Amino acid sequence: MPSDPDTSPGFLAAPTRFLFFTGKGGVGKTSLSTATAIVLADAGRRVLLVSTDAASNLDEMLGVPLSNEPVAVPGVPGLSVLNIDPDAAAETYRQRVLAQLEADATDDERANVREQLSGACTTEIAAFDEFAALLANQGGAAASAWDHVIFDTAPTGHTLRLLSLPKAWSGFLAGNDRGASCLGPHSGLKMQESRFNAALAALADPALTTVVLVTRADASAVHEAARTAGELRALGLRNQRLAINGVFHASHPDDPVAAAIEALGREAIAKMPDVLARLPRDEVPLRPFDTVGLPALRALLGGGPIPPLVPDTAPRVTLPAEPLGRLADELAAMGHGLIMVMGKGGVGKTTIAAALAVGLVQRGHSVHLTTTDPAAHVASTLDGTLEGLRVGRIDPAAETRAYIDRIMATRGKSLDAAGRALLLEDLQSPCTEEVAVFHAFSRVVNEARSAFVVLDTAPTGHSLLLMDATGAYHRQMTRGGAANVANIVTPLMRLQDATMTRVILVTLPEVTPVSQAAALQDDLRRARIEPWAWVINRSVAATGTTDPLLRARLVGELRQTARIADGLARRTYVLPWLPEPPVGVQALGALVEPSPPRS
Q: Which residues are catalytic?
A: 26, 28-31, 53, 512
List the beta bridge partners of residue 71: 81
**DSSP output for 163-218:** HHHHHHHHHHHTT--SSEETTEEHHHHHTTHHHHHHHHHHHH-TTTEEEEEEEESS
Residues 6+ apart with CB under 8 A from 109: 101
Rounded Cα distance between 561 and 391, Å, is 32
List the beta bridge partners of residue 453: 338, 368
Kindly report the backbone phi and psi dihedral angles of residue 94, in degrees, each rounded to the nearest multiple of 5, phi listed first.
Answer: -60, -45
Count CB-CB contacts under 10 A for residue 513.
27
Residues 6+ apart with CB under 8 A from 406: none
> In angstroms, how far is the first alpha carbon of the chain from the final one?
51
Give me the amino acid identity at 121: C
Task: Show the DSSP H helices in 245-392 as ranges.
Answer: 256-270, 274-277, 294-300, 324-332, 349-362, 378-382
- Calculate the alpha carbon distances from 469 to 119, 126, 242, 491 in Å: 5, 15, 35, 10
Q: Determine which helix (DSSP H) or strand (DSSP E) holds 243, and give its type and residue range.
A: strand 240-247
> What SS3 class is residue 22?
strand
User: Please, what is the Cα angle at 223 between 51 and 549, to 5 degrees?
Assistant: 70
Kindly report the backbone phi and psi dihedral angles of residue 311, in degrees, each rounded to the nearest multiple of 5, phi listed first.
Answer: -55, 140
**DSSP output for 483-526:** HHHTT---HHHHHH-TTTEEEEEEE-SSHHHHHHHHHHHHHHHH
Burial call 134-163: b when 16+ CB within 10 Å, e when fewer:
bbbebeebebeebbbbbbbbbbbbbbbbbb
Nearest CA-CA partner of 284 in 474, 489, 39: 39
| Cβ atoms of residues 211 and 237 within 8 Å | yes
> What SS3 class is residue 574?
strand
| Cβ atoms of residues 100 and 184 within 8 Å | yes
